[in-house]
Amino acid sequence: MKTVAVVGIQWGDEGKGKIVDLLAHDADIVVRYQGGNNAAHTLVVGGDKFILRLIPSGALLREKVCVLGNGMVVDPVALLGEIDDLKRKGFALNPGRLKISYDAHLVMPYHRAIDRSREAHLGKRAIGTTGFGIGPAYEDKMSRLGLRFDDLVDLNTFTEKLRRNIRDKNAHLRAVLKAKTVPAEPIVAAMRTARRRLLPYLCDTGAFLDDAIRAGQSVLFEGAHGTMLDIDHGTYPYVTSSNCVASAVFAGSGIGPASLDAVLGISKAYTTRVGAGPFPSEMFGTLADSVREEGVEFGSATGRPRRIGWFDAAVARHSVRVNGLWGIAITKLDVLTGIDPLQICVGYDVRGKRYDAMPPGRHMLDRVKPVYEEMPGWRDDLTGARTMNDLPAAARRYLVRLAELTGVRLAMVGVGAARESTIVLANPFHS
């Protein structure tokens, strides 16, 4: 298969970075198609640690082309910071290797200001956003007030629109959110500099991808966040502001549905989420604390401790359906070592009625009682395993049960942080 999308099937942070990195070796082009720097993929290569928020993981493989698709919202200053950091560490991205869609939207300082003060304003009803202005930037996109990379081409009209937006947003910050306003001149000046540096990267990325696919090149679409954070199919309103499901590949990159060969879903062997909102299989107390420590479950975008829970098969089934998954990769299995017994949430009970996937009407999610199935754990170190046979029988049985419950092929299993600590049962690019 030539074109593959990777999506998170939980609440983000499923360990997509590592799987994308592994698959990027087989791709010519790696594409981000939604979200912004609210995403964060941590990669360790040659002893250096990289946190990529906007630039696809392909940046660390020297011959790959990275694309920021039209569906993204991009903070230009954050993007330049990432480009510079990569360059310092020996991974220069010239315009031949980094293509930014003219149609991607710009995240501006007033978006961040609104995001943060709105969260403060919401008090107990806060979403727990990353505070990077993502929601307000998508709002401007939908209300047709947004600024795009395309607007940068003509500096005068851009500056005019920018000043008008700053004025309007400041009025909102002041009057509605009772918050500090953002000063116009430093933003205008910063954008003038950013513009000069970014113009060479602008590209009709949809046409570029279409040409590449017709020419037989391999393309990897790197999803950000996770299905349960999807604006339509997640736990609204405790979601991010973009579609994170696989169908976002098309609207967010400009290729058609027939051009995508397979979707690989990524799930942890357990579950985490940051921010507020329903989480039926959440666990608490010392067990949750030890999984958090063992799995280093602290947000890479914000440093917040993540909430911890058992694997939830109802969430997984929902995600299999809305993403049309070809297969599933289970990450961080090694984190469960030493926990005995293990629980799997196999469905929900709502006032005596059993649900195997999301109950109709997400309002029910607050009331569901998770139904658990118990499985024996294991004590052996898994990090050296490279085939299923290297795993202790209990770990194998746990994986087989997850695959059974989700109904899709088990394609990969992560057994440690390192790139090589992965069991590959099926690689979509080789199928």
Amino acid at 71: G
Pull the structure tokens for residue 270. Answer: 């357990």
The rounded distance, in Å, linking the Cα atoms of 334 and 415 is 5
- Number of chain positions touching ligand IMP (CB under 6 A): 20
Residue nearest to Mg ion (CB): 13
Contact partners, residue 408, CB within 8 Å, separation at least 6: 265, 320, 325, 326, 327, 328
In the block, residue with structure tokens 């919202």 = 73
Identified binder of ligand IMP from the candidate list 44, 80, 122, 128, rule CB under 6 A? 128
Identified binder of ligand IMP from the candidate list 3, 57, 101, 130, rule CB under 6 A? 130
Q: Using the rule CB under 6 A, is 275 a contact of ligand IMP?
A: yes
Identified binder of ligand IMP from the candidate list 19, 187, 224, 315, rule CB under 6 A? 224
CA terminus-to-terminus distance, the chain: 6
Question: Which of these segments, 40-48, 52-60, 144-152, 324-332, binds Mg ion (CB under 5 A)?
Answer: 40-48
Phi-psi region of 407 (alpha: psi -120 to 50; beta: other; left: phi over 0): left
The rounded distance, in Å, linking the Cα atoms of 155 and 37 is 25
The rounded distance, in Å, linking the Cα atoms of 416 and 330 is 11
Which candidate in 13, 21, 75, 115 is catalytic? Answer: 13
Instruction: Report CA-CA distances (Å) from 203 to 104, 147, 209, 281, 425.
Output: 10, 16, 10, 44, 37
Q: How far is the CB of 40 from Mg ion (least distance, A)?
A: 4
Amino acid at 204: D
The verdict on whether 103 is a catalytic residue reads no
Question: Which of these segments, 10-18, 282-290, 410-418, 423-431, binds ligand IMP (CB under 6 A)?
Answer: 10-18
Q: Using the rule CB under 6 A, is 274 a contact of ligand IMP?
A: yes
Q: Using the rule CB under 6 A, is 305 a contact of ligand IMP?
A: no
Q: What element of type H or E holds 167?
A: helix 155-175
The verdict on whether 41 is a catalytic residue reads yes
Which candidate in 28, 41, 111, 312 is catalytic? Answer: 41
Q: Using the rule CB under 6 A, is 240 a contact of ligand IMP?
A: yes
Closest CB to Mg ion among 154 and 293?
A: 293
Return residues touching ligand IMP (CB under 6 A).
11-13, 38-39, 127-130, 132, 134-135, 224-225, 229, 238, 240-241, 274-275
Catalytic residues: 13, 41
